[in-house]
């Protein structure tokens, strides 16, 4: 697992300090509710810092899932426009998944607020292995 030392605090601010415990709490709660998993155990496997998102790969009951947190998810960055953009990204991913054969993650949950276990907006989705389109 990469450490929070790899995450640029200027770009991600307090998002760099999201705890493993809070990520596992969020992951297990949604896995239980949406995926009907027992969610008896969970663990953070990996953190990846990109240019615009932090990606947390969490394993719950043997299923690998992703919690993607946008860099705009702190301070004055989560404007109504940024929240709308996050909703649009999720809707676009759902549409591409439904209408094409392109391997794209399934979206299980979306929150554009900080009123959740990790205190930040996120998209919670399945893990799809492969190479980025870019």
Q: What is the pLDDT of residues 80-118, one digit of tens each?
A: 999 999 999 999 999 999 999 999 999 999 999 999 999
Over the stretch 52-89, which tens digit does the pLDDT of each residue have? 999 999 999 999 999 999 999 888 888 999 999 999 99
- State both tokens at 74: 């702190």
Question: What predicted TM-score, i.e. pTM, was given to this entire model?
Answer: 0.91
With a cut of 90, say whether residue 47 has pLDDT above it. Answer: yes
Q: How far apart are CA 63 and CA 74, in angstroms?
A: 29
- Its CATH class, for the domain covering 4-126, is alpha beta
Predicted local distance difference test score (pLDDT) of residue 1: 42
Nearest-Å Rg of the Cα atoms of the chain is 14
SS3 state of residue 81: helix
């Amino acid at each position: 697992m990469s450490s929070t030392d790899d995450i640029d605090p200027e770009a991600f601010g307090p998002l760099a300090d999201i705890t493993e415990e809070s990520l596992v709490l969020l992951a297990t709660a949604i896995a239980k509710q949406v995926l009907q998993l027992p969610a008896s155990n969970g663990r953070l496997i990996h953190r990846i810092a990109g240019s615009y998102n932090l990606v947390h790969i969490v394993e719950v009951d043997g299923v690998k899932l992703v919690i993607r947190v946008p860099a705009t998810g702190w301070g004055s960055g989560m404007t109504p426009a940024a929240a709308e953009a996050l909703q649009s990204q999720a809707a676009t991913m759902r549409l591409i998944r439904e209408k094409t054969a392109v391997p794209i993650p399934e979206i299980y949950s979306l929150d554009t607020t900080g009123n959740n276990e990790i205190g930040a907006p996120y998209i919670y989705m399945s893990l799809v292995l492969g190479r980025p389109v870019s």
